[in-house]
Amino acid sequence: MPVSGGFLELVRELLAPLGDVTVRKMFGGASLYCDGIIFALVDDDVLYLKSDDETSPRFAAEGLKPFTYEGQTGPVSMSYWRVPERLYDEADEMLDWAREAVRIAAVEARAKAAKKAARSQKTRDKKPAAKGSARRSK
């Protein structure tokens, strides 16, 4: 079932205090970004927030499950967990959970960028100098 416009509007309204929250529809669902960093998914009018090893148990303690899709070799779980239904009626607590998801997503994005920069530097270090680019001493 595709994501409904009404549900996306509700989520945008609840998460507006986070800052610049944007939505990109994809594969029948949607991704939510805060200041350009993905921190949540929406599928079948269900909101999933980014989690890590520290926060996943919090979701599990509420009896929730991670977002899962059918991959080529079977189900694939992602590090986005379903939001407790009660949070839709508790805006302040919803924002606390969402802020934590944004923080986790930002940490992950910085780590990915650093790893990419290190790989790029390593590749540049391995390349031989171009002909004529070496300085000649007099």
Tell me the pLDDT tens digit for each residue of 48-77: 999 999 999 999 999 999 999 889 999 999
pLDDT at 135 over 70: no
CA separation for the pair 122, 124 (Å, rounded):
5
Is 138 inside any structural domain?
no
Q: 75: domain CATH number?
A: 3.30.1460.30
Is 132 inside any structural domain?
no
CA separation for the pair 101, 111 (Å, rounded):
15
Is 130 inside any structural domain?
no
Total count of domains within the chain: 1
Is 120 inside any structural domain?
yes
Is 72 inside any structural domain?
yes
Is 121 inside any structural domain?
yes
- Domain containing 107 equals 5-125
Pick from 55-64, 84-93, 117-126: least confident: 117-126
Torsion 63-69-73-79 (CA) sign:
negative
Is 94 inside any structural domain?
yes
